[in-house]
Structure 1
Amino acid sequence: MTDIDKQLQFIIEIDKVKNIFRRNYIADGSRNENVAEHSWHLAAMAIILEPHVEKVNILKVIKMVIIHDIVEIDAGDTYIHDKEGLKDKKQREEQAAKRIFSMLPEDQGKELRDLWHEFETGESNNAQFANVLDRLHPFLMHIESKGKAWIENNISVKQVYEVMSSVEKFPRLWEYLTQKISIACEKGWLQNDEKI
């Protein structure tokens, strides 16, 4: 099989992310978002929010957010608040990464798998920014959909602060986020931890 054959087969394979649906809704609350939409929106966010970060390679960040959830083709989407599903998430996704990225020519597959690992470890500036985008995007969708998925899953203020803690490294985004969490509490979209 030639390199172009492998690349085109990979492109066809990743079309499957369009059929993997997430728990959060799109902004208007009319339906659940799929993984392809999520990844596209993250890439757009990276471009738009780049002025708020320093020392990132925006092309590398865009590549990361485009490919970070490709593993969900095999591993499925794991809801951030699903404690049981999170237990074996890493193992399922590692197995998926091995299969999916090996479809590409060796050097290209290694590049994308390395980027995926960099995103997952979250240690580099690029990966930290990409991970913040990955947390911020569903948060924005929850706010715009009037907390629909939060309400359905009985999510508490504490749970939201726990999963959003990485955003604190970006003060302007953190300020926005904390204001929106207060509004979500006032409107009853989030469970008050004191009442749980």
Structure 2
Amino acid sequence: MDDPTPSSAKPTVDREKTAPFLIRTFVKVGAYHRLVQFEDGPLPLSDEQAIYTWKDATLREVLTTLRSSAPPVTEYRHPLARFSFRAVFADPTARGRFAQKDLGTVYSRDILGEPGSLGRPAPRLLEDDERDTTSSTEQDRTLDELRFVPGDYLCVMVQLPKGVVVPAGPDGELVIKGAGVGVGAAPPPANGWKRDAPGGRGTDGGWSGNPAAA
């Protein structure tokens, strides 16, 4: 892991002539793997996924690559899943001890569109020309901007909104606890995640797992 300060310019990689590099990725539902597992071992090999990509890949692209090669675990494929990324690396300023740095978060809907069902997620094309290119959101920052380098480990925490029942209901639609319509009942959020306010970030109360786990 290099200097954590993001780079101001996106790298240009000729993918036709540049070989991708390996990222040893460790995926866990509900929490991150503990740092001590990388320092003292053994590595959590049962949760490891090997992916290959380039330094100009965004977190959104990394997630797309990961989902295409990951085992058929329901949480990994869930259209309401949230994926949080963390780099684990040997810190030269700490005599080679391992350190970690949060990179960002990507939701399934960021690559699939608004959620449909487990078997039929709502499709959506990524329309880059309609996005605000003057701002850089977490999922659109590249590995190079995030100072992620070959040799770093990548930890991924997968979470679902509280109340989501896995697997899906009998008709293939998502089942959300308390989502039934009754007297005084409010409809569930459109994307399954609670929000503090319009445009705000989700609250811990709307997330499953423990975001603070390390």
TM-score if structure 1 supplies the norm length?
0.25
Q: Which has the higher helix share?
A: 1
Q: Which has the higher strand share?
A: 2
Higher relative contact order (CA 8 A, sep 6+): 2
